[in-house]
Structures are given as structure tokens and as C-alpha cells.
């Protein structure tokens, strides 16, 4: 009888072990194996595996067995990073001319995943009057996570006098909208205003502060200096087109090639500098001296729109590659493109590979060769390094696979 009971107990134990093994195998939906994981939020920069289950990061560790996953992708020799966050885009597409609900914006999903981007922030294309349409037409229908800086001017970027009319602001309704959609509205934008009053700038700043959000400044107040604008901003506010050289705003680098001291002081006190490349917002005669003198971008916003994607900007990885060839390390660049951007928009849940976080992941290679990179003035920087996206995972699903890393090899017997 004792032997019989022992046999039963042994069999039961084996059954539990087998059930546990099967259960663990079913827990991991996707395993990215053997890559160089760079996760600045968690101070990880080493060869590790990333396991994904039910759209979340299940585990990041070395030596996770392939047998424990439903699908394993070998990413040896590649960089595995949190999905990139582009904080300056225009994605409010629609039938109109211009940006808001218009043809000057671009569809996010057409440009994001191929660049390793999983989250974008639309930079003030919508105001409180047009945000509901933006949400219905774009935010709710995009696989890319789409957030927004709400334009302080009610209609948003509809062109003409829309961003000049100081009477077309309703802070009460804008405030109500931010409180209604706190997970979608990342901040408040003061945009292409070029008047002589600080009223809209101040109003946008107050609206942002009241909701514990950053002010996003893309402003060309010709009556006031860059120093005045920076002095009207608080720590955590963001100035974009930080390295442009146009007549509407004083550049950060002076005529002698020196970064202006008040600019460095502003960054030191917490003002964030976004690239905002766009069609005219990035110049090597600003960016290169700035890098050498310590004025590094806090974020790599692209100012993605229908012109910039076909000019010198191209995409976020092209922009990051410019800085790679200007001397920044890939680790520093990825930090600013992930956790740096997440912190800028006050979304600590994004830009990391922490267990339990949403599985937004980008897999890169840094290719070597002979490359050329353009600025807004049409000048070229020669380089020998370039980021390339091999795979992008959004919410646990593979949404971009450049070279079929996840695909089964084809053969004649697998027609």
C-alpha cells in the first residue's frame, strides 16, 4: 500500500511539473532572444532576452529558454530598445488643405513603425474645437499610440489668421477637454503666433500649468527675443525647432559660433530643447556647434509632415543618425528618444521595458558604410554610421519586420 501511495504521489508530482512547464510555455507569446538590450529607465545595457505575454513585458533576463515561448525571434547582434517616442508630429489628416484635418499632415501608421516609433505626439494641429474630430478620425483608428499637444487657439492649425486671433481662445473649454482626455492630451502648444502680445503665450502657459503639463513652444514672436521667450517658460516646458536658423527667431548659436549663454542657462534650469527638424527647423551650423558646446537635444521630435518626410528630415532614425555622426553615443541618443521623451510628456509608463509595461519595442542595427545626411539649408554631412529598424513591436504584436526575422523560411514543400 505504501509503495502504491508513493507511486501515486510521484505521478502527481510529475503531472504538476509537466502542467507547470506547459503553463509557462503558454505564458510567453513572443521571445526576442540574444539582443543587446538598451533600456535607460532600468539602467540595462547588456545582452538579454525580452519575453512578451498578453501585450506586456513579461520578463527581461539572460538565458530565457526558447522552449518556453510560442514564438522566438533571434535578434543576436541587434539593439533591442523601448519603442521610440516622437513628440513633434502632424498627423491630423483629412480632406482640407493645410494641417488641421488636412493634407499637409501624414498618416501616423504609414511612417512610424518602419522607424521604430510606437508613440507620437501631434504638435498642436488641433485645438479644443477640432480635437473631437481628430480623436475620432485619427487617434481612435491608429495602431500607433497618438497623443496631442492641444493648441491654445481653438481651431488649431487651420491656416490664415487662426493662430493670430487672440479672441479665439477659450481656456475654460480647453481646460475641460484636457480633464476629459487626460491620457491623450500631453500638453498645450503655442504655435505660429507672430503678433505683438504675450497674451496667448501666457494663456497657454497657465493652461498647461493648471493641468500639470508642459508648454510646447513653437512660437515666432518677432517682437520679442529668444531670451524673452525662454524667460517666459518654466522648468519642464519644451521649445522646439531648437536648432533652426531663420529670420523669425534668434538662433541658439551666435554669429561667432558660440551657444548663447542664456540658452545654456535655460537648459540648466530645466527648459527642454526639442529638435523639431521639419522642413526648415534643423541647421548644421546650429546643431554641430551646439553638440560640441553641450547643448544637446532633450528629445528628437521630427516635425513630421508631408514635406519634411520627403526632404532633409526623412524620419526619426535619420535624425538620430545625424547625431550619431555628430559624436553622440547610441546609448545617449536612445535614452533621449525613449525615456527622455516619455519624461518630457510626463508619461513614465512609456519608454521602458519594465516588467508589466506595455510591450512597445524597437529592434535596430547600426549599419556602417558611406552615408549622407541633409539639413534644412540643403547642406550634407558625410557619415559612416546609420540606424536601421529591423523590427517594431507595438502592444505585443510585430508590426514591422524589415527582413522577415519572424517569418518561417520558404521552401518548395511549403507552398
pLDDT digit string, tens, across residues 269-287: 999 999 999 999 999 999 9
pLDDT for the residue numbered 21 = 45
- Give dist(CA 338, CA 80) in Å, integer: 12
The mean pLDDT of 400-404, rounded to a whole number, is 98
In our burial notation (b when 16+ CB lie closer than 10 A, e otherwise), range 274-293 reads bbbbbbbbbbbebbbbbbee
| Residue 248 CB neighbours (<10 A) | 13
Assigned fold of 83-352: TIM Barrel (3.20.20)
pLDDT for the residue numbered 23 = 44
CB 188 within 8 A of CB 149: yes
pLDDT for the residue numbered 248 = 78
Residue 412 has pLDDT above 80, yes or no: yes
Residue 178 has pLDDT above 70, yes or no: yes
What grid cell was written down for 307?
Answer: 514635406
Residue 19 has pLDDT above 50, yes or no: no
pTM confidence score? 0.94
Residue 134 buriedness (CB in 10 A; 0-12 / 13-18 / 19+): buried
Residue 5 has pLDDT above 90, yes or no: no
pLDDT for the residue numbered 247 = 80
With a pLDDT cut of 90, the percent of the chain lying above it is 86
Question: How is the chain split among helix, strand and coil, in percent rounded to 5?
Answer: 30, 30, 40
The mean pLDDT of 70-84, rounded to a whole number, is 98
Lowest mean pLDDT among 18-32, 133-147, 205-219: 18-32
- Give dist(CA 52, CA 8) in Å, integer: 36
pLDDT for the residue numbered 3 = 53
Mean pLDDT over each residue of the chain, to the nearest integer:
93
The mean pLDDT of 209-220, rounded to a whole number, is 93
Question: What SS3 state is found at 358?
Answer: strand
Estimate the crossing angle of helix 171-180 against helix 199-210, to 10 degrees.
30
The mean pLDDT of 384-402, rounded to a whole number, is 98
Report the candidate in 219, 216, 232 with the shortest Cα–Cα distance to residue 344.
216
In our burial notation (b when 16+ CB lie closer than 10 A, e otherwise), range 64-78 reads beeebbeebbebeeb
Residue 162 has pLDDT above 80, yes or no: no
Residue 8 has pLDDT above 80, yes or no: no
pLDDT for the residue numbered 141 = 98
Give all strands (DSSP E) within 333-405, no chain letters.
361-374, 380-394, 397-401
pLDDT for the residue numbered 74 = 98
- Give dist(CA 354, CA 327) in Å, integer: 29
Amino acid at each position: 500500500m505504501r509503495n502504491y501511495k508513493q507511486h501515486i504521489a510521484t505521478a502527481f508530482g510529475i503531472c504538476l511539473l509537466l502542467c507547470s512547464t506547459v503553463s509557462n510555455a503558454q505564458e510567453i507569446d513572443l521571445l526576442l532572444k540574444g539582443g543587446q538590450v538598451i533600456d535607460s529607465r532600468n539602467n540595462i545595457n547588456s545582452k538579454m532576452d525580452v519575453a512578451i505575454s498578453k501585450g506586456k513585458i513579461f520578463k527581461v533576463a539572460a538565458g530565457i529558454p526558447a522552449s518556453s515561448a510560442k514564438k522566438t525571434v533571434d535578434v543576436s547582434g541587434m539593439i533591442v530598445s523601448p519603442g521610440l517616442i516622437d513628440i513633434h508630429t502632424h498627423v491630423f489628416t483629412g480632406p482640407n488643405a493645410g494641417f488641421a484635418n488636412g493634407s499637409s499632415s501624414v498618416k501616423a501608421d504609414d511612417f512610424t513603425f518602419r522607424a521604430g516609433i510606437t508613440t507620437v505626439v501631434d504638435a498642436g494641429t488641433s485645438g479644443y474645437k477640432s480635437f473631437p474630430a481628430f480623436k475620432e478620425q485619427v487617434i481612435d483608428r491608429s495602431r500607433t499610440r497618438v497623443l496631442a499637444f492641444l493648441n491654445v487657439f481653438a481651431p488649431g492649425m487651420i491656416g490664415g489668421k487662426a493662430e493670430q486671433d487672440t479672441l479665439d481662445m477659450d481656456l475654460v473649454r480647453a481646460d475641460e477637454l484636457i480633464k476629459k482626455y487626460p491620457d491623450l492630451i500631453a500638453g498645450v502648444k503655442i504655435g505660429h503666433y507672430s503678433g505683438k502680445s504675450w497674451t496667448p503665450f501666457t494663456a497657454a502657459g497657465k493652461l498647461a500649468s493648471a493641468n500639470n503639463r508642459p508648454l510646447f513652444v513653437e512660437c515666432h514672436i518677432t517682437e520679442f527675443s529668444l531670451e524673452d521667450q525662454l524667460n517666459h517658460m518654466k522648468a519642464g516646458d519644451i521649445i522646439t525647432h531648437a536648432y533652426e536658423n531663420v529670420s523669425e527667431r534668434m538662433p541658439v548659436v551666435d554669429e561667432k559660433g558660440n551657444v548663447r549663454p542664456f540658452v545654456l542657462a535655460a537648459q540648466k534650469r530645466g527648459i527642454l530643447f526639442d529638435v523639431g527638424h521639419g522642413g526648415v527647423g534643423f541647421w548644421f551650423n546650429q546643431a554641430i556647434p551646439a553638440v560640441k558646446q553641450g547643448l544637446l537635444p532633450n528629445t528628437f521630435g521630427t516635425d513630421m509632415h508631408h514635406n519634411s518626410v520627403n526632404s532633409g528630415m526623412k524620419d526619426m532614425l535619420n535624425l538620430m543618425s545625424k547625431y550619431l555622426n555628430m559624436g553622440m553615443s547610441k546609448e545617449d541618443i536612445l535614452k533621449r528618444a525613449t525615456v527622455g521623451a516619455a519624461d518630457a510628456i510626463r508619461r513614465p509608463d512609456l519608454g521602458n521595458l519594465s516588467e508589466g509595461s506595455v510591450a512597445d519595442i524597437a529592434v535596430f542595427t547600426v549599419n556602417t558604410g558611406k552615408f549622407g545626411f541633409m539639413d534644412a539649408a540643403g547642406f550634407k554631412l558625410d557619415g559612416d554610421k546609420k540606424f536601421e529598424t529591423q523590427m517594431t513591436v507595438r502592444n505585443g504584436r510585430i508590426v514591422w519586420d524589415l527582413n522577415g526575422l519572424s517569418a518561417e523560411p520558404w521552401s518548395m514543400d511549403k507552398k
